[in-house]
Structure 1
Amino acid sequence: MLPAAHRLRDGSEFRAASRGGRRAGSRTLVTHLLVGDDDSGLRIGFVVSKAVGNAVARNRVKRRLRHLAREHVSTLPGSAVLVVRALPAAATASYADLGADLDRCLRRVQP
């Protein structure tokens, strides 16, 4: 579970990161990273739409992504907003596949 200080909840920040941040995609997910100048701290948000599957599949994907993203908190810039958007293939992907895709995407979006 991500600490509350690292959770992204504001819709305007989701939009800003999605529209203005660096983007990298894979088979199962797309990441958007927006590095800011302020010292507000790292915040991470997840987008898992109904296209991924039913509620059980969406919640499973969200739990997996939250756990995987927690491992990357120390490697990301301190004043960044990260949005991880799951694609429909994430519902059938294994935990290891999601982890590999997240690693690959984060390496590509980091400055």
Structure 2
Amino acid sequence: MLASTHRLRRRVDFAATIRGGRRAARGALVVHYGLATAAPPVPDDAEPADLPESSPAPAEALPPPRAGFVVSKAVGGAVIRNLVKRRLRHLMRARIGALPAGAMLVVRALPAAAGRTYTELGADLDGALARATSGRRR
């Protein structure tokens, strides 16, 4: 099971990661990767003109890396979808520590994920993560 501090839960976070992040597909998975930026705290009596420009916060102010999963009905029935989600959560548990602080990751399973073994899903996830987190842009 993935620790609760490493889970992506809010719809806003999913949407921000999917819209603003990098996308990489491998096999039966699509990975969306983005970095969270923490805004500096704003005093209650601050005027809009007094607010500083948003800048990346130091690493200690960023949340730990978080991951979320999207497994639609196209993958299969409830039993198959939950099996795929459990496998993906377990695979991410071993890989989440390698991501930088503030990383947000959405793993979307394609219909082919229903027929993949645990090992094949792991290989797909590794390939997609390597591609999404690399510095290269296509």
Distance 1:93 1:66 in 2: 15
Which structure 2 residues correspond to residues 13-32 of structure 1 after superposition, within 5 A? 13-32=13-32
Per-residue CA deviation, residues 34-89 of structure 1 (Å, 9 max, x unaligned), is 01233022111000000000000000000000000011111111111100000000
CA distance in 1, matches of 2:64, 2:89: 17
Code of the residue aligned with 1:6 in structure 2: it is: H
Deviation of 1:105 (Å):
0.4
Q: What TM-score does the superposition give when structure 2 sets the normalisation length?
A: 0.78
Task: State how far apart, in whole Å, the 1-side matches of 2:27 and 2:67 are.
Answer: 20
Report SS of the residue matched to 2:64: coil
TM-score, L = length of structure 1: 0.96
1:81 aligns with 2:104: yes
- Within the alignment, does 1:34 sit opposite 2:34 as a pair? yes
Superposed, 1:2-81 pairs within 5 Å as: 2-38=2-38, 39-81=62-104
Structure-1 separation of matches of 2:107 and 2:100: 16
Runs of 4+ in structure 1 over 4 Å off? none
Q: CA RMSD in A?
A: 0.8
User: For the pair shown, which has the larger CA radius of gyration, 1 or 2?
Assistant: 2
Q: Which amino acid aligns with 2:74?
A: A
Q: CA deviation at 1:29?
A: 0.6
Structure 2: unaligned runs, 5 residues or longer = 39-61
Number of aligned residue pairs: give it.
111
Q: Please name the residue that 2:114 is paired with.
A: 91
- Residue identity in the other structure for 1:60: L
Amino acid at match of 2:16: A
